Amino acid sequence: MGFLFAWLIFLSFDAVRLHWSPVPVWLQVVGAIVLVCSFALLFLTFRENAFLSPVVRIQDERGHTVISTGPYQYVRHPMYAAIVVFVVGTSLLLGSGSGVLLGLIFVAMLARRAMLEERTLRAELPGYADYMAQVKYRLIPYVW
């Protein structure tokens, strides 16, 4: 969370005060559309998976199962994918080209978290290894 907060502060300085890397208005409009798409993907993810949690844990008391429908049929971590889209859309909308580049560090941190989370899920959640074989991509379909 600390890096995300620092990224947001950087965005505010770049886009509003110092204008280090301005973005053309048409690209800001694209950023707004991308940002709305990230909200839609987040909504679909939360609607599909009642087991979402900020902490990686198996919720045996709630009958935790593998979710493979909705956005989970395309990527194994659609919430993280939506956050990647959010980072790009927010940076562009606010007019910070370098915010997109700095956001890539946050994306790398999310990718690492996804890999660590998969290790836990594969070891502790029945059926997750089969799900990983079925859905090949972690964050971006046909890429990774």
Give the pLDDT of residue 126: 85
- The per-residue pLDDT for range 32-81, each reduced to its tens digit, is 999 999 999 999 998 888 777 776 666 666 667 788 888 989 998 899 89
The domain that contains 130 carries what CATH number? Answer: 1.20.120.1630
Give the pLDDT of residue 10: 74
Give the pLDDT of residue 35: 94
The answer to whether residue 17 sits within a structural domain is no
Q: Which residue has the higher pLDDT, 55 or 30?
A: 30
The answer to whether residue 101 sits within a structural domain is yes
Rounded-to-integer distance, Cα 82 and Cα 140, Å: 10
Give the pLDDT of residue 61: 63
Amino acid (one-letter) located at 38: S
What is the span of the domain harbouring residue 69? 2-12+22-134
Q: How many residues are present in the chain?
A: 144
Percentage of the chain beyond pLDDT 90 is 18
The answer to whether residue 141 sits within a structural domain is no
pTM above 0.85, yes or no: no
For the chain, state the CA radius of gyration.
Answer: 17
The answer to whether residue 130 sits within a structural domain is yes
The answer to whether residue 139 sits within a structural domain is no
The answer to whether residue 144 sits within a structural domain is no
The mean pLDDT of 101-124, rounded to a whole number, is 86
Six-digit token string for 42: 């987040």
Total number of domains in the chain: 1
